Structure 1
Amino acid sequence: MRAASRLQDALAAKTPVWGGWVVAPTILGPEEFTSSGYDFVGFDVQHGYLGDADVSLMLRRLEYLPIATVVRLPTPEPAPIGRVLDAGADGVIIAMVESAGQAAAAVAATRYAPSGVRSYGPLRTSMGTDPAALQERVSVFAMVETARGLATIDEICAVDGLSGVYVGPADLAISMGHGPADAWTHHDVRDAMARIHHTVTSAGLVSGVHAGTGTLGRTAAQLGFQMITLVSESQALRHGAAAHLTEARGAPAAAPDRQGQY
């Protein structure tokens, strides 16, 4: 029997699954996402200002709260992946995956020998100590966000042990010769995202995407994506702060924040 995974449970129970994003050390951010009804929170070790120790402390704080956790890392290097899993993350998202080999390396980093290269060292005894159960609870997502990744999406989805593919619209748009703001409006990029989603779901995997706003999250859900990140804690704070100031001044509502589509 696998150790508990709130992420796997959420993905099995509902569509879509909504996520918040954390880019800096914070206690309040993840808890506010939880109290607001979000299904998961992602910790960004690629673009965010977070280290292993920061993530470990925040994961520990969320241990008894009803929200799933994932960590985005920049490479499939085994040691950092193993550390965040030992600290209790339900899953990892590996950025800039462009080949089946990179996806396979990411999976191997979450599996103990002989299936992979993960070193045994659980930090959260509440998850249990059985290696088979510990690796079974882990979800592994390849982040496809370039034209090269798009070209190899069939091979990536064929990697054994991969849980899903998570799309990064901004980098995908840039790699296709467009601006990051074109990610959801240019038909070439929208078609590419639709193709990724179709290929992923046809392979029986979870399709995820970084939306960046609630409005774009609704669009992503309409396209069929299941695991959808809406906003980061900094975006939510900025949006809420601006809304309160607008209310106080009696001014027209501000335009929606379209940043954070990475």
Structure 2
Amino acid sequence: MPHTTPLLPPYVHPPAWLGLQWQPGQLVHTRRGPRYLSRAVETPECREAMAAGVTDFSSLGLTNGGNAGELVLFWQAPDHDIAAVQTAIDGIPARVAEREAERAAAAAERRAREEAAAAAEAQRIADLIARARDEATRSLNDRRWSWARRVDVDEAQGLLQRPDLDVADATRLLSLVERASKNVARSEVKLATMHAGERSLAERPEIRTLALEAVHLITADDADWATLENNRGWSKSSTIDGHVLDALPELNVAQASHALRLLRIHHKQLPRTLVEQMFALA
């Protein structure tokens, strides 16, 4: 690269920015026009300022040079604004502080979001566990008859006794409650379909009233939910249907047809007069 030692202005010896001690400049012809090139050994202050990354030093005319980058080069244009370079360098601490403040604010916002997300997740889990406890407790207390399998009851009761339920436990509890609910739903679908053999009796309003009365009597004796073989209450195969019928305020024809079918099986538990009133015309 051809160069000559400058003899005339506008060459100005650069200030000792960041502790840099400049050698005399040389005139160099570059693709961007003539430049006075000055060299200085890099100082720790300069290295730190360049590494901060808050100022485009190349736009100021300052670059690294030398094989190991131990030199700093200043490419001074004939009309170079030395004062603007000084201002940019003097502003580095403020820009670094501003950037660090922005980073700190972003980090604080990120932590806040993470903490909020963690709190929301913890609340979701707490709500899930509370809901599982509540639904399982209510189902076992109010609709124990809908739990067709004893093993399900034992498992649910075991889970409810744990003081430290986790998500997996809560999910399992809810699945057991859902299974019991599905038992009821299947029974309701079945009871909504006419049992043809009892249709003629079920169509009579007075018989439907007697049938519901009889269902109440047998259900009242089904305190064990068919878990004991004591000839009292409903059987294992009829307890869910019996309790679903018992919860109804009145029976329609289809429901009454199923009630009558079940009552024929359990008629020995009913007062004889009630049985005769229901089935005398059958």
TM-score higher than 0.5 here?
Answer: no
Q: Which has the larger radius of gyration?
A: 2
- Going by fraction, where is helix more abundant, 1 or 2? 2
Higher relative contact order (CA 8 A, sep 6+): 1
- Going by fraction, where is strand more abundant, 1 or 2? 1
TM-score, length of structure 2 as denominator length: 0.18
